[in-house]
Amino acid sequence: MKTLYETLGGTYHEENGHLIPNVTLPEQTDYQIGKYGRMHLDYIKQHRRGRYTTLLTESKLNSRLHEIDLEAKEMLESKRPKSWLKSVSAFANGMGGKLLFGIDDDGEVVGLADCERDCEIISETIKTKMDPIPEIHLVPETVDGKKIIVLTVFPGKETPYYYIGDGNRQAFVRIGNESVIADRTAIRRLVLKGAGTPYDSLPSPFEYKNMAFTKLRSVCKQRTHNDFLDTDYESWGIINENGELTNAGALIADESPVRHSRVFCTRWNGLTKAPGLLDAVDDAEYSGSIISLLQEAIAFVARNSKKAWMKLPDDRQEMPEYPERAVLESVVNALIHRDYLEYGSEVHVDMFDDRLEIYSPGGMMDGTMVQNLDVLNVPSRRRNPVIADIFNRLHYMDRRGSGFKKIVEDYQMYANVSNGAKPVFKSELSSFFITLPNLQYVVKGQDGTKDVTKDVIKDVTKEQADILDAMRDNPNVTTAEMSQRIGLTQRHILRLIKELTDKEVIRRDGGRRYGKWMILKEYRGKDSE
């Protein structure tokens, strides 16, 4: 029986009693391979066997080894200086960084033939193609017997740092492990950084005489037990030494004229924003002083949260859906550290059945991804130091910048019921997210759940009982029909339905159009005889 190879016309020859296929590889250019190419060959044969086989069978091995030889020698001469200068720009515009020369794409040390000459090329290229010239440090090093160059780029004080070449003038910023072109907002941010002036300390286009600060005064008295004095306006950074309203002052004013300084709050029905029978149970849009924004957002979360109790041997423990301090710290973080140069965006507070999500415009100041960091040890860097100082004076935060740690610690207090659920921190180029898990949702269905909820779902209000009576009489009843029967608005009806669903008193079987109501528990109205 012939093999597939023989069927396709393949033949063999015998060597030492073994049949060897007569296979001829395609011709390839016969390059003279130098030491760097030979070093790479040894490396891929040992550590990249699949790649070695592919290059060999495709007749690309010899040419690739030749390229490696040339790259090791010419990478600093004519081969795309932008490919590494963009990282120089990004490092100088950010928190600094290091570049290694003499390392190939596979991470293998190939070395450099003339380190001294290559150092000169690097230095000269930076001088001619960067504006302004960043502070750098060039050090030749020996690794595995091969010469490499370590280029250290220090954080710049004269941002933005531009790459000049190919007819372009571009500034780059570091996002994760990539160097990307800075957009218009990022450029404005870098200009302010270079000037040593944060956004919130700049003069506002609005006039101080037209602003009122009654909210600031009342909160100051309430939380510090001290009066807010007229001399405090300048010392707190609300006005500058020339009597001009600062951006911080404009944000703190009662009727803040900064229109994009808003908070959108929504209590969604379910686990997503997907449309359904009931999209949102509650929603609100807040504007005005950022002190009011903080208070309103906190109140919204409290209004749409339930408290329960878990029985202990000798007592009972209150178990909120969301720890109060964690909510406070999360909203404070969103307002203080948001990027107010991001127009057309606002802080969002989204509540779902299982979690609370808080979104704030503006990522980490240095372009890092918070999800890749130890949040318990993230250094404090304040995008808006004046606003941060005001909130500190009002005792909403402290100067140590330990907000992330407080959020995590607040959840650790409920470790016995959280089932390991922890706050999640995530950042992108221009956004920051904090996700707080619902502690009551986490324990649902576990041992002890009934102890947590039975006292809550035992009775229902008269309005809720009216809803249940309507469902009992007609499982297919619509919210419009309930509204007409009971005499409540449809919005109020929907809110009551959400409360009964959360208490597991009712369930909707089927879709919005053809589904029906299921009453899961016996009930009696608190206000009934």
For residues 429 and 313, membership in a common domain is answered with yes
The predicted pLDDT at position 254 comes to 96
The better pLDDT of the pair 391, 309 is held by 391
The predicted pLDDT at position 438 comes to 92
- Residues paired with 433 in a beta bridge: 359, 426
With helix as H, strand as E and coil as C, how does 336-404 read? HCCCCCCCCCCEEEEECCCEEEEEEECCCCCCCCHHHCCHHHCCCCCCCHHHHHHHHHCCCCCCCCCHH
| Cβ 486 vs Cβ 493: under 8 Å | yes
Number of domains in the chain: 5
pLDDT band at 338 (very low <50, low <70, confident <90, very high): very high
365 domain-assigned: yes
The predicted pLDDT at position 455 comes to 37
For residues 277 and 170, membership in a common domain is answered with no
445 domain-assigned: no
The predicted pLDDT at position 164 comes to 93
Enter the DSSP assignment of 146. Answer: E
The predicted pLDDT at position 272 comes to 83
pLDDT band at 429 (very low <50, low <70, confident <90, very high): confident
- Contacts for 492 with CB less than 8 Å, ≥ 6 apart: 463
Q: How far is the C-alpha of 95 from the C-alpha of 292, rounded, in Å?
A: 34
Q: How far is the C-alpha of 135 from the C-alpha of 27, rounded, in Å?
A: 50
217-221, 260-264, 310-314, 447-451, range with the lowest pLDDT: 447-451
Q: How far is the C-alpha of 10 from the C-alpha of 206, rounded, in Å?
A: 85
170-179, 414-423, 441-450, 456-465, range with the lowest pLDDT: 441-450
Maximum Cα–Cα distance across the chain: 102
Instruction: Give the CATH number for residue 172.
Output: 3.30.950.30
Q: Is residue 445 over pLDDT 60?
A: no
Q: Is residue 387 over pLDDT 70?
A: yes
The predicted pLDDT at position 524 comes to 53
377 domain-assigned: yes
Q: How far is the C-alpha of 237 from the C-alpha of 231, rounded, in Å?
A: 11
- What does the mean pLDDT of the chain come to? 81
For residues 87 and 12, membership in a common domain is answered with no
Q: How far is the C-alpha of 171 from the C-alpha of 159, rounded, in Å?
A: 9
Q: Is residue 451 over pLDDT 50?
A: no
User: 199 φ, ψ to 5°?
Assistant: -55, -45
| Cβ 247 vs Cβ 199: under 8 Å | yes
Select from 72, 98, 121 the last residue of a domain. 72
26-40, 54-68, 140-154, 162-176, range with the lowest pLDDT: 26-40
**Segment 236-261, tens digit of pLDDT:** 999 999 999 999 999 999 999 999 99
pLDDT band at 314 (very low <50, low <70, confident <90, very high): low
The predicted pLDDT at position 126 comes to 94
**Segment 452-506, tens digit of pLDDT:** 433 334 467 888 888 888 888 888 888 888 888 888 888 888 888 888 888 878 8
At residue 466, the 3 state secondary structure works out as: helix
With helix as H, strand as E and coil as C, how does 82-139 read? HHHHHHHHHHHHCCCEEEEECECCCCCECCCCCHHHHHHHHHHHHHHHEECCCCEEEE
Instruction: Give the CATH number for residue 512.
Output: 1.10.10.10
484 domain-assigned: yes
> Stretch 366-386: mean pLDDT, rounded?
83
The predicted pLDDT at position 66 comes to 56
The predicted pLDDT at position 527 comes to 43
Q: Are strands 347-351 and 262-268 parallel, antiparallel or unpaired?
A: parallel
For residues 404 and 435, membership in a common domain is answered with yes
Give the up-direction half-sphere exposure of residue 371: CA atoms within 13 A in the CB hemisphere. Answer: 14
The predicted pLDDT at position 193 comes to 84
446 domain-assigned: no
At residue 278, the 3 state secondary structure works out as: coil
Q: Is residue 5 over pLDDT 60?
A: no
257 domain-assigned: no
> Stretch 265-272: mean pLDDT, rounded?
89
121-135, 226-240, 460-474, 501-515, range with the lowest pLDDT: 501-515
Give the domain range for residue 159. Answer: 75-195
The predicted pLDDT at position 298 comes to 96
> Stretch 94-108: mean pLDDT, rounded?
81
For residues 55 and 103, membership in a common domain is answered with no
The better pLDDT of the pair 41, 348 is held by 348
For residues 242 and 357, membership in a common domain is answered with no
The better pLDDT of the pair 519, 221 is held by 221
Q: How far is the C-alpha of 406 from the C-alpha of 331, rounded, in Å?
A: 13
451 domain-assigned: no
For residues 110 and 126, membership in a common domain is answered with yes
Sheet-wide strand order for 130-131 = 130-131, 162-165, 168-175, 178-181
Instruction: Give the CATH number for residue 379.
Output: 3.30.565.60
187-191, 203-207, 313-317, 438-442, range with the lowest pLDDT: 313-317
- pTM assigned to the model: 0.61
For residues 19 and 82, membership in a common domain is answered with no
The first and second tokens of residue 244, run together, are 């001009």
For residues 462 and 361, membership in a common domain is answered with no
368 domain-assigned: yes
For residues 226 and 288, membership in a common domain is answered with no
**Segment 149-204, tens digit of pLDDT:** 999 999 898 999 999 988 889 999 987 678 899 988 888 888 888 888 889 999 99
Select from 72, 90, 115 the last residue of a domain. 72
The predicted pLDDT at position 407 comes to 92
The predicted pLDDT at position 391 comes to 95
For residues 267 and 358, membership in a common domain is answered with yes
The predicted pLDDT at position 526 comes to 45
The predicted pLDDT at position 132 comes to 94
Q: Is residue 340 over pLDDT 60?
A: yes
For residues 36 and 142, membership in a common domain is answered with no
Select from 440, 469, 490 the last residue of a domain. 440
pLDDT band at 60 (very low <50, low <70, confident <90, very high): low
